[in-house]
A and B are shown apart, each in its own frame.
Chain A
């Protein structure tokens, strides 16, 4: 192969920008536009208080994506472990130094800015695992010790976030980590064994549930038991969606969402607004856009010539997928209410920043990923 000078290192900023996967950027912009329109509608047809800020935030984040994309991939490769270490340290410090926000200690106050360590970890975990598999010769990925190391990389942050408690992040870490291990080529046998162990332990776990956990499951199965509490969200969201029908009631015409029947309507439950006003067709278009983005990310990964790049891209795709899947499942009552936003559509800066930085890293990997990185160029740690 003689990519030679076209290896992505010496083509200049404009050359790199040219290499960015623009179709994916366009899809992302379309999704964010739908989000802005939905935010406009929830506020009763007003850019205040959400739509304007949502759009501005997205534009800033988009600039960030492009900035990250043109930074040489080697920089991210070098930063992977240090950032993971810092994220781990911050996660461990949360119970000590954390600021109590909304009752859960998830934030750390670093003087001027507050950061959410679990968000940093979402990026750092992907990068660290990708870095690990870049270094590890692929023939050796299924050796027991080589499997234990990434499991430890995943398990420590999972344990730390469970303690906060932040179940959502813990689930995401697990899914992200395991899927990257799978993509890196770890033997099927490990996954089969793990699945068997989980299935085997299930009756035991169910038998040992606390009363309140049982109650939560009961309410989930039958929301009418608690129409003003947890079941309220699900019932109202289903009514809003169902009344939308195939084509919806029309933009700004949704009564359910406008009337505050749907709680958290501009954040976690934004999909029920879209479903009510634009109907099944609208949500299907949105789902198709997410699907298209995932497909493009897969193509980007396929075209990359080193493992670090491929896994970085796969990590970004996986994060989008998990958010979309859990959010829509929650809004339609398939899973209990867990507080996961709809990517780039729900109002809120934290998840958007994480997703867009992740996308930026994937872009950087794509832009620079034509060049193989030799295992021998890379030490185990530095």
Chain B
């Protein structure tokens, strides 16, 4: 009957080990026992008096949150002063009776009253419970008048965050929410239930500035915890205001233009300061709706919506940048001395490497092209060959120099880093060797490479100025000259070559970005189209014949005025078809609106009603 696997030897081994474990446990419990002896018996002389002095209680005071303003001083986020009624059960005696007296002055539904009473039963009677919020000043006055008959009741001031900018600044301003998780290292004031912290956008990005510093009131309490008198304390220091670089009225125009597309995003940088002059992403949301008691249902709908309205595509949308990175490949090759302005590469419509064929978007080929012509016509084969010659590491280095694959800390915590692939990255991510064909694809911004519209705008600004422009969402009060940005390490002649080609993209016949032309008498514009493939089918079928979700992404980057750059822009229209047809006119309209509101010296005339020269070209 005996289980041979559980014979006496096995049991003895278990018993020996159980003894060992039990002994360890006994030793560990003795250790804490000794520690208790040390604290309680040996330390009694030291801690006893401390406890006697411990009649001072510290009450934390919440700071008032700083406002968020736009560059014109319009208030985008502010605090409303509100009143609320608080009940301390321990002082009230009969909380239910006091509550019903309060109900005669302030309307509290029977359900809410029951809920409050139930909660009070569950927690310490010394803990104040908020029984009514948003109480009017008259009601507060009445309550204070009746204070002697309302033991345990007090009225308090608190602030509620309000948002005024609407959807045009929803992504940028963000919103606040409850402190969900209190870290041991966090500011102690975050423990206060009324504290709100930034959850997204500038509210989160500038949290350190707008939050302020909590105060503390020291109180003397009696042995039952009742307050005897207020001792000294420090006032809370309110948070500072933050002035953003954007203009709410301009944002309205930009968002309205973007909303003609289903999903799109756009960023405009002031290249003299790095300020973000405009930034929009559609679909958008209104922070006021999120902040002011959004129902669980609408919140879930917002989170789950197919088009992700909470996503700020301008900084968190990562897309294959397509042909907009051809300038990167070009500058890498120029810097390496592999080509000059006169060298030609022949395009016959396809490029072959290791038995693999890579097609140019133009089936018949472009013929023999210089760098200038290749950028203007966005020839793919030219850049396949260039990428092959210069290699992935040089392309990646130039991409980083121009701000791709980097976080720019512009003030929005949702900013994403994009991706500039190189062999080390691939080894770490996929544990695989880099393939020559992947260099070819990287050369035209396909394959692994990903960039955000913000990064593309930074890239354009750096090409336009030759300086390491850093984007910021905060208005620069002392906007110094451009010289404060260090120079990027590329020869002026090389940059000029690329800039001239970008000018030709918009202004020459055969340029792919003609739709971005601002109009006669208006500032000149230089740019580059990009069309990034989403599905394999897209190269075979006409874009309009494809389902929306399989169409190519349309991109366009530009700066203006071409002679003396002031603004750099980047836009993406998801599944917009071709960059030249969809994104270029969008950037045109946005830049016209931006120039219109900017310093009149840089812009020619009024912005509306301008139609660019139609050339809905398609390119790869």
List the B side residues contacting A245 at CB < 8 Å.
40-41, 44, 48
Whether the Cβ atoms of B35 and A332 lie closer than 8 Å is: yes
Known pairs A219-B184, A241-B47, A302-B18; A256 contacts B36 (CB<8 A): no
The reply to whether B6 and A305 contact each other, CB–CB distance below 8 Å, is: yes
Chain A nearest CB, measured from B37 CB (Å):
6
Tell yes or no: A102 within 8 A of B by CB.
yes
A321 surroundings in chain B (CB, below 8 A) = 25, 28-29
Question: Do A372 and B40 touch (CB < 8 A)?
Answer: no
- Set of chain A residues within 8 Å of B17, measured between Cβ atoms: 182-183, 185
Report if B550 contacts A (CB, 8 A). no
Q: Judge whether B29 and A240 touch: CB under 8 Å.
A: no
Contact with B along A287-306 (1 / 0, CB 8 A): 10011001100100110011
Inter-chain contact B57/A328, CB cutoff 8 Å: no
Does B260 reach chain A (CB closer than 8 Å)? no
CB-CB nearest in chain A for B37: A280
Interface: B103 (CB within 8 A): no
B57 touches A261 (CB 8 A): yes
The reply to whether B39 and A332 form a contact with Cβ atoms under 8 Å apart is yes
Contact assessment for A1 and B1 in the assembled complex, using a CB-CB cutoff below 8 Å: yes
B44 with A246: CB separation less than 8 A: yes
Are A239 and B54 within 8 A (Cβ)? yes
- B36 near A328 with CB under 8 A, answer yes
Q: A334 in the interface, Cβ–Cβ < 8 Å?
A: yes
8 Å CB contact of B121 from A2, A48, A185, A280: A48
A257→B30 CA distance, assembly (Å): 25
Which of A44, A185, A212, A255 is B125 in contact with, Cβ under 8 Å? A44
Interfacial chain A residues near B185, Cβ < 8 Å: 212, 215-216, 219, 229-230
Q: Which of B13, B35, B183, B186 contacts A329 (CB 8 A)?
A: B35
Q: A1-B1, A185-B10 are in contact. Are A291 and B26 (CB under 8 A)?
A: yes
Partner of B58, one of A102, A103, A228, A374: A228
A182 to B35, CA, bound (A): 28
Q: Nearest chain A CB to B578's CB is how many angstroms away?
A: 38
Give the number of residues in B that approach A within 8 Å (Cβ atoms): 60
CB B338 to nearest CB in A, in angstroms, measures 42
**Contact (Cβ within 8 A) B3 A103:** no
Q: B564 to chain A: which residues have CB within 8 Å? A: none
Q: Tell me whether B39 and A242 are in contact (CB under 8 A).
A: yes
Instruction: Give chain A residues whose Cβ lies under 8 Å from the Cβ of B10.
Output: 138, 185, 307
Q: Which of B28, B90, B123, B124 has the most CB of A within 10 A?
A: B124
In this complex, the member of A43, A46, A232, A241 whose beta carbon has the largest number of chain B beta carbons within 10 angstroms is A241
- Assess whether B145 is interfacial by the CB under 8 Å rule: no
Instruction: Indicate if A243 sits at the interface (CB-CB under 8 A).
Output: yes
Specify the chain B residue showing the minimal Cβ separation from A271. B36
Majority-rule SS of B interface residues: helix
Q: How far is the CB of A293 from chain B (nearest CB, A)?
A: 11
Q: B residues within 8 A CB of A307?
A: 6, 10, 14
Chain A 224-267 interface residues, beta-carbon cutoff 8 Å to B: 226, 228-230, 232, 236, 238-246, 255-256, 258-261, 266
Distance between B204 CB and nearest chain A CB, rounded to angstroms: 16
Determine if B224 is an interface residue (Cβ-Cβ < 8 Å): yes
Q: Which residues of B contact A373 (CB under 8 A)?
A: 3, 6
Q: Which of B39, B57, B58 contacts A241 (CB 8 A)?
A: B39
Contact A242 B18 (CB under 8 A): no
Q: Check if B50 sits within 8 Å of A242, measured CB to CB.
A: yes
Q: How far is the CB of B9 from chain A (nearest CB, A)?
A: 9
Q: Whole-angstrom distance from the CB of A246 to the nearest CB of chain B?
A: 5
Chain B CB within 10 Å, residue with most, of A46, A242, A279, A284: A242
Instruction: Say yes or no: A228 contacts B225, CB within 8 Å.
Output: no
B18 & A325 in contact (Cβ 8 Å cutoff): no
Complex Cα gap A240–B54 (Å):
10
B223 in contact (CB, < 8 A): yes
Q: Determine the chain B residues whose CB is within 8 A of the CB of A243 once the complex forms.
A: 44, 47-48, 50-52
Chain A min CB distance to B123 (Å): 6
Q: B18 and A287: CB pair below 8 A?
A: no
Task: Please give, as numbers and ranges, the residues of chain A lying within 8 Å of B48 by CB-CB distance.
Answer: 242-243, 245
Max chain B C-beta neighbours (<10 A), residue from A103, A243, A306, A325: A243
Does B343 make an interface contact (CB < 8 A)?
Answer: no
Contact with A along B348-389 (1 / 0, CB 8 A): 000000000000000000000000000000000000000000
| Pairwise interchain contact A228-B188, C-beta atoms closer than 8 A | yes
Name the residue of chain B whose CB is nearest to the CB of A336. B184
A310, B14: Cβ atoms closer than 8 Å: yes
Instruction: Provide the residues of chain A in CB contact with B54, threshold 8 Å.
Output: 236, 239, 255-256, 259, 261
A275 on the B face (CB < 8 A): yes
CA distance A295 to B19 in the complex (A): 10
Least CB separation from B5: chain A residue: A375
Residue on B nearest A4 in the bound complex, by CB: B1
Q: Does B478 interact with chain A (Cβ within 8 Å)?
A: no
B413 to nearest A CB, angstroms?
Answer: 17
Which chain A residues border B25 with CB–CB below 8 Å?
294, 317, 321, 325
* Chain A residues whose CB sits within 8 angstroms of the CB of B124 once the complex forms: 42-43, 49, 260, 266
Would A216 and B184 be within 8 Å (CB), given that A43-B125, A298-B18, A325-B29 are in contact?
Answer: yes
Chain A proximity mask over B27-71: 1 for CB below 8 Å, otherwise 0:
011001101110111011011101110110110100000000000
Q: Is A183's CB under 8 angstroms from B29's CB?
A: no
The smallest C-beta distance from B221 to any residue of chain A, in angstroms, reads 6
Residues of A within 8 A of B73 (CB): none
A240 near B121 with CB under 8 A, answer no
Answer whether residue A109 sits at the interface, using C-beta atoms and an 8 A cutoff. no
Check A295/B35 contact, CB under 8 A, given A185-B13, A255-B51: no
**Given A103-B181, A255-B54, A182 contacting B40 (CB threshold 8 A):** no
Q: A179-B21, A329-B35 are in contact. Are A229 and B2 (CB under 8 A)?
A: no
Q: Which of B21, B46, B58, B216 has the most CB of A within 10 A?
A: B21
Partner of B40, one of A216, A236, A283, A290: A283
Contact B29 A242 (CB under 8 A): no
Bound Cα distance from A242 to B38, whole angstroms = 9
Query: Given the interface contacts A256-B54, A260-B57, does A291 sit within 8 Å of B29 by beta carbon?
Result: yes
Q: CA A42 – CA B26 in complex, angstroms?
A: 30
Q: Which of A48, A298, A332 contacts B36 (CB 8 A)?
A: A332
A92 to B218, CA, bound (A): 46
**A287 touching B29, Cβ below 8 Å:** yes
User: Which residue on chain A has the smallest CB distance to residue B123?
Assistant: A49
Whether A239 contacts B18 by the Cβ 8 Å rule is no
Would you call A324 an interface residue if the criterion is a C-beta within 8 Å of the partner chain's C-beta atoms? yes
Assess A334 versus B35: contact at CB under 8 Å? Given A242-B40, A298-B18. Answer: yes
The 8 closest A-B pairs by CB, nearest first: A242-B47, A103-B181, A243-B51, A103-B180, A372-B3, A230-B184, A280-B40, A228-B188
**6 other A-B residue contacts (CB within 8 Å) besides A255-B51, A321-B25, A325-B32:** A228-B60, A230-B184, A242-B50, A243-B47, A328-B35, A328-B36
Subset of 26 A-B contacts with CB under 8 Å: A1-B1, A2-B1, A46-B125, A49-B123, A102-B180, A103-B180, A103-B181, A137-B5, A183-B14, A183-B17, A184-B14, A185-B17, A229-B184, A236-B54, A239-B50, A239-B51, A242-B44, A242-B51, A245-B44, A258-B225, A266-B124, A287-B36, A310-B18, A321-B28, A324-B29, A325-B25
